[in-house]
Amino acid sequence: MGGVGSAFGAVSFVNAMLCGQGCAAAISLRAEAEVALEESARATPRIRIAPEADTPLARAALLSALRRFAPDASLSAELALRSNIPPARGLKSSSAVASAIFRATEAAVGSREPAPAEEVARLVADVGLSVGLSATGAFDDALAGLESGVVITDNPRRQVLARTAAPKEWELLLWVPRSTHAPAPQLHEALQQFASEGEEAVRQARDGNLLPALERNTRAVERALGIDHRPLHDELRRKGALASGVTGLGPSVAVVLKPESRRSVRAALPASGGEILSATFVAPPGPSR
């Protein structure tokens, strides 16, 4: 029995670590998992994962997925992972990898109907908390990567507050430094000092003002983390960007723009210390909800 599953990465318009509520948008970077299952005489699952993909997150996600989708079966499982999402850069690689593992396991078991995205996102959030990678569970990141579009969520309550889509004319550039961020739980206290800014950014996002929300969130997160990208944000705006901001815990910077500004905006991004990636916002299937 085998199955493949995938999930998108995402960028933050509002980091849920500020106030518990967050806003994330799916982007066209993707993680893919392939799970092969065999019957086993062992009471506990035997798991095989390629060394380069063998992390506490991958193991915890696979075990959780087996408990959810094959609770009474005695199985061995083999997992392979592929991803073009840079890890620990604020682009939601952990949520996407765990989500892909759940969907691949579900497919391998042969479930007749996919589990609702909200249910899977809650399970993914639990996994992220259990292995110490997330401070809130990142329910918003997981749900955006599973559903597509833009989601606004209450992470402690695992509730969806709103769903929408980024305007079709928006394009996206990502500046991805080589450095990585520290584990989220280590930074939670610093971010919570700016809870009021997070609450206001969430209100802006719920009113449809995603770009002001991104900029307000960025000011708060950068102050909390001791980052100062103001000269870069100002230059990007002068070159035609609609808005720019740190995504997640950084260090990646998301730049929202229109097609006619792509060349000038790209030229304003740092030429060293990282890479520039092109991406698109992934629209949800069907009408926005």
Annotate 114-169 with DSSP letters as a single string: PPPHHHHHHHHHHHHHHTTS-SS--HHHHHHHHH-SEEEEETTTTEEEEEE---TT
Dihedral sign for Cα atoms in the order 77, 145, 54, 5 = positive
Q: What is the pTM of this model?
A: 0.94
What residue type is 4 in one-letter code? V
CATH topology of domain 2-164: Ribosomal Protein S5; domain 2 (3.30.230)
Q: Are the C-beta atoms of 105 and 124 separated by less than 8 Å?
A: no
**Per-residue pLDDT at 288:** 43
Walk along the chain (289 residues) in steps of 10 and give the mean pLDDT of each run: 95 97 98 93 77 93 95 88 95 97 96 93 96 90 97 97 96 94 87 96 98 97 93 97 96 97 97 94 73
Q: What is the pLDDT of residue 74?
A: 82
At residue 126, the pLDDT reads 96
pLDDT for the residue 42 = 66
From its phi and psi, is residue 41 left (phi > 0), alpha (psi between -120 and 50) or beta? alpha
Instruction: Give the pLDDT of residue 198.
Output: 97
- Which pLDDT does position 52 carry in this prediction? 87
Report pLDDT for 34: 97
Other CB atoms within a 10 A radius of the CB of residue 187 amount to 18
The ranges assigned to domains in the chain are: 2-164, 171-279
Indicate the helix (H) or strand (E) that contains 275.
Answer: strand 274-279
What CATH number does the domain located at 171-279 have? Answer: 3.30.70.890
